Amino acid sequence: MPLRTIESLGSLAGKKVIVRCDLNVPLGDGQITDDGRIRASLPTINALLNAGARVVVISHLGRPDGAPEAKYSLAPVAQRLCELLGKEVTFATDTVGDAAREAVDGLTDGGVVLLENLRFNPGETAKNEEERAAFAAQLAAFGDAFVSDGFGVVHRKQASVYELAKLLPSAAGHLIATELDVLDRLTESPKKPYTVVLGGSKVSDKLGVIAHLLPRVDSLLIGGGMLFTFLAAQGHKVGSSLLEADQLDTVRGYLDKAKELGVDIVLPTDVVVASKFSADAEHEVRPADSIEDSPWGASGLGLDIGPDTAARFAEVIRASETVFWNGPMGVFELAPFAAGTKTVAAALTEVAGLSVVGGGDSAAAVRALGFHDEQFGHISTGGGASLEFLEGKSLPGLEVLGWQA
């Protein structure tokens, strides 16, 4: 059975529709620093409003421990959603309490309510299925139908993702449909040459993706903190750089497998080594095989790919028809160590075919470095869910909507 879409719900005029978005935006001093996930939710919300629905938006933010915490309130999100929609958004200060009931009861056709952070209720993420089902039933009382549109949570069995979809007529929103289409193009029949660029801090976070995509890609480019485990697997010393020593044998296995498959694993030839983890740290570019020959010896740490590596990565990316990128190339938040990530991002904007920025830190990086969403083929909001899809794993939040791998 194919994924159920909004059209399968029939006429929504005058109906209360609960839409599960992923509005888990980064905040700094109570201000939204990247509203990409809110913008990504607009097509589905606007489609429901245009259909005359009464829209109840639900989401989580951060990781509160099943109780209200002011720093995780969705209040700033409600304000930004109001600005982006160009219409009033009523904010309920609880999830299923008096404020939520009053706000939902006051909805008129084409109106919008945003409930407070779902994770303020312990039932949302409870391991006990009955507790999740009980919370889902309270949420279901607010709607006539349910639209799931938070791709970033579809890999979780959570009350608002899984149980709620069973209690009401349910369907996937436009964001989920778009994400699935892109991810399918990355796994089933990608146009060649196909390049995957992986960064971020840990190899262990990407092992499943490497294993699943290795037989499908032409080139695999490795940057970020995970590059040092690859260098160490080749026998190089990496100073105080991030290293997962327990993954060395696994990485050697992937290097051997890539050689067997004819896949080009492109590792850094130079690295930006620093005296400490700080924006004002002394730093210099070192060959990747002589990191400890820097002035700081074994205490030096690599915080970015070097310029020669960045240029090589960009060359491979620009020559590709399909590119998937997940994970920054260095500590882009610190200006001296942002060049590698910026070079890779710029190269992706020049890809003639499909270029996909794989959510999370990568999406935040491209926006922080001055790029615009429209410069890329697709910026995923999926994060961990996208990675699990690319690993070939089961995603319960999609299966409950009729999707089959």
The answer to whether 117 is annotated as binding is no
Look at residue 359 and give its three-state secondary structure.
coil
Q: For residues 320, 349, 177 and 189, what is the CA-based torsion angle, rounded to 10 degrees?
A: 0
The answer to whether 236 is annotated as binding is no
Beta carbons within 10 angstroms of residue 226's beta carbon = 25
The answer to whether 383 is annotated as binding is no
The answer to whether 94 is annotated as binding is no
Angle at 375 between CA 369 and CA 378, to 5 degrees: 100
Catalytic residue among 16, 37, 185, 286: 37
Beta carbons within 10 angstroms of residue 17's beta carbon = 26
Whose CA is closest to 377, among 398, 397, 401, 351?
A: 351
The answer to whether 362 is annotated as binding is yes
Residue with tokens 């990247």: 34
The answer to whether 360 is annotated as binding is yes
Q: For residues 103, 108, 112 and 116, what is the CA-based torsion angle, rounded to 10 degrees?
A: 10
> Does the annotation count 4 as an active-site position?
no
The answer to whether 24 is annotated as binding is yes
The answer to whether 61 is annotated as binding is yes
The answer to whether 59 is annotated as binding is no
Distance, CA of 85 to CA of 75 (rounded, Å): 15
Distance, CA of 398 to CA of 230 (rounded, Å): 34
Catalytic residue among 39, 101, 157, 202: 202
Instruction: Find the largest Cα–Cα distance for the chain.
Output: 70
Which token pair is 361? Answer: 């830190």
Catalytic residue among 97, 208, 384, 402: 384
> Does the annotation count 237 as an active-site position?
no
The answer to whether 37 is annotated as binding is yes
Sheet holding 270-274, edge to edge: 283-287, 270-274, 301-305
Which token pair is 312? Answer: 């090589």
DSSP codes joined into one string, 93-161: SSSSSHHHHHHHHT--TT-EEE---GGGSTTSS-SSHHHHHHHHHHHHTT-SEEEE--GGGTTS--III
> Does the annotation count 252 as an active-site position?
no
> Does the annotation count 202 as an active-site position?
yes
The answer to whether 80 is annotated as binding is no
* Single-letter residue type at 202: K
The answer to whether 252 is annotated as binding is no
Distance, CA of 290 to CA of 225 (rounded, Å): 17
> HSE-up of 304 (CA within 13 Å, CB side)?
28
The answer to whether 60 is annotated as binding is yes
Catalytic residue among 360, 382, 383, 397: 360
The answer to whether 22 is annotated as binding is yes
The answer to whether 149 is annotated as binding is no
Feature table: binding site for (2R)-3-phosphoglycerate? 37, 119, 156
Feature table: binding site for substrate? 22-24, 37, 60-63, 119, 156
Feature table: binding site for ATP? 206, 302, 333, 359-362
Catalytic positions are 37, 202, 360, 384
Feature table: binding site? 22-24, 37, 60-63, 119, 156, 206, 302, 333, 359-362
